């Protein structure tokens, strides 16, 4: 058990859905320890200030000025905010699992010290959707997800909204879309030790004497997800085990074949992949799902499919459900017919 008083060097940031402007009336992360001010005898905490940049959901941007101070993990969130797109106010005062946050933080630090967590991010979304992430440069996980209660505007909030509504703010997503963004699924990535047989016109297992097979090794599968999380820690095999996560938006596979290093970037077409993904889960209630990635760099054949846990049959996705580009030793090796992204957009380095 981790002591509640153990301190961590994290930065308490805020996040919002892109183009969804919010105004804070109150925002504080409380923790066990010494109060920040002498007159706050019963409060020890960090103030949350609103995100000021038009960032993606889960990204860490705000007013906070980074310091080298450390604090215990928060054990309570107190928050009241208004979405300017519809003038609705939401409020929540809820306990947080400080012990679990510390365990996850320590586990990442121990296993991947170069890819440790850095930020404690609180997301304020429309319709009262609130998310909390542990975030690092290479990995982000969803720690909590809440739905705040709608509250009547007080006098100051009503006056403020009267000033701001002239700017014609809007809500970028519907309630159903927010539910879709935050929905969690149980799945894993599976890379099969098979290759495309051009004579038999099907996937077959590598022959034991095939020298290519002896030198073939998948390093990792990385992704970005709709719920604001991502994992692109090289060598992290947790993606290959069943795990709860949001729907993937982009997937990268790293593998070696002899001395050659390959990277395949799958940019999933949202309106096509999203429907197929949800439909497959709905058709197999209570079952976990395998996302099969069949890769043959020699014949330049790349296939993605879904398979329910414990079943042999699988559903192959049409090639146009994603845009694909493959690099071999840093040089473009293959791209799909529908790949039309500008040069450089394959990189994960868009994250701040």
Q: Are residues 269 and 303 in the same domain?
A: yes
Q: Are residues 258 and 130 in the same domain?
A: no
Supply the pLDDT for residue 214.
58
Supply the pLDDT for residue 100.
96
Nearest to 76 by CA among 47, 45, 34, 101: 45
Q: Are residues 75 and 23 in the same domain?
A: yes
What would the DSSP string read from start to end of 136-191? -SSEEEEEEEEEPEEE---HHHHHHHHHHGGG----SS-HHHHHHHH--EEEEEEE
Helix (H/G/I), strand (E/B), else coil: 207: coil
Q: Are residues 168 and 188 in the same domain?
A: no
Average the pLDDT over 200-213 and give the result. 73
Average the pLDDT over 193-197 and give the result. 78
**In which order are the strands placed within the sheet that holds 216-225?**
11-15, 119-124, 129-135, 139-147, 230-231, 216-225, 248-257, 260-268, 322-328, 331-335
Burial class (CB in 10 A: 0-12, 13-18, 19+), 98: buried
Calpha distance 15→130 (Å, rounded): 10
Supply the pLDDT for residue 349.
39
Q: Are residues 159 and 276 in the same domain?
A: no
Number of domains in the chain: 2
Residue 188 in any domain: the answer is yes
- For 323, the domain range is 183-335
Residue 213 in any domain: the answer is yes
Residue 2 in any domain: the answer is no
Calpha distance 333→295 (Å, rounded): 13
Q: Are residues 107 and 27 in the same domain?
A: yes
Region of 279 please: left (phi>0), alpha (psi -120 to 50) or beta.
alpha
What would the DSSP string read from start to end of 88-111? EEEEEEEE--HHHHHHHHHHHHHH
Is the pTM value of this prediction over 0.75?
A: yes
Higher-scoring residue by pLDDT: 178, 342:
178
Question: For residue 63, how far is the Cα from the chain centroid?
Answer: 22
Residue 53 in any domain: the answer is yes
Q: Are 325 and 339 in contact (CB under 8 A)?
A: yes
Supply the pLDDT for residue 164.
86
Q: Are residues 102 and 71 in the same domain?
A: yes
Q: Are residues 207 and 326 in the same domain?
A: yes
Q: Are residues 283 and 301 in the same domain?
A: yes
Could you report the per-residue pLDDT of 289-348, keeping only the tens digit for each? 999 999 888 888 999 999 999 999 999 999 999 999 999 999 999 999 999 987 555 454
Could you report the per-residue pLDDT of 104-146, keeping only the tens digit for each? 999 999 999 989 998 899 999 999 999 999 999 899 999 999 9
Average the pLDDT over 253-269 and give the result. 91
Tokens 């992430």 belong to 133
Q: Residue 179's pLDDT band (boundaries 50, 70, 90)?
A: very high
Residue 47 in any domain: the answer is yes
Residue 344 in any domain: the answer is no
Residue 341 in any domain: the answer is no
**In which order are the strands placed within the sheet that holds 45-47?**
45-47, 22-30, 76-83, 88-95, 149-151
Calpha distance 142→136 (Å, rounded): 12
Residue 68 has pLDDT above 80, yes or no: no
Residue 102 has pLDDT above 60, yes or no: yes
């Amino acid at each position: 058990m981790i002591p509640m008083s153990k301190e961590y060097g994290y930065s308490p940031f805020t996040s919002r859905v892109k183009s969804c402007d919010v105004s804070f009336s109150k925002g504080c992360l409380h923790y066990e320890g010494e109060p920040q001010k002498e007159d706050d005898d019963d409060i020890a905490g960090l103030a949350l200030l609103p995100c000021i940049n038009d960032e993606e959901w889960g990204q860490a941007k705000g007013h906070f000025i980074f310091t080298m101070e450390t604090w215990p993990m928060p054990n309570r969130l107190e928050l009241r905010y208004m979405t300017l797109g519809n003038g609705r106010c939401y409020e929540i005062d809820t306990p947080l699992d400080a012990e679990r946050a510390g365990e996850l933080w320590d586990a990442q630090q121990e296993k991947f010290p170069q890819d440790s967590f850095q930020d404690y991010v609180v997301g304020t979304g429309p319709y009262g959707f609130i998310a909390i992430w542990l975030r690092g440069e290479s990995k982000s996980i969803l720690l909590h997800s809440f739905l705040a209660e709608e509250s009547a505007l007080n006098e100051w909030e009503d006056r403020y909204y009267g000033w701001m509504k002239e700017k014609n703010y809007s809500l970028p997503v519907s309630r159903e879309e927010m539910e879709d963004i935050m929905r969690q699924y149980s799945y894993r990535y599976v890379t099969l030790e098979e290759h495309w047989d051009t004579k038999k016109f099907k996937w077959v297992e590598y022959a034991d004497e095939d020298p290519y097979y002896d030198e073939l090794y998948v390093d990792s599968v990385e992704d970005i997800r709709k719920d604001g999380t991502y994992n692109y820690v090289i060598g992290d095999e947790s993606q290959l085990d069943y795990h709860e996560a949001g729907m993937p938006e982009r997937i990268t596979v790293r593998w070696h074949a002899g001395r050659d290093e390959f990277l395949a970037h799958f940019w999933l077409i949202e309106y096509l992949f999203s429907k197929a993904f949800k439909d497959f889960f709905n058709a197999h209630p209570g079952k976990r799902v395998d996302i099969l990635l069949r890769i043959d760099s020699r014949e330049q054949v790349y296939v993605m499919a879904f398979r329910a846990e414990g079943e042999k049959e699988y559903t192959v996705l049409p090639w146009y459900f994603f845009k694909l580009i493959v690099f071999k030793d840093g040089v473009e090796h293959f791209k799909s017919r529908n790949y039309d992204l500008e040069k450089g957009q394959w990189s994960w380095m868009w994250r701040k």
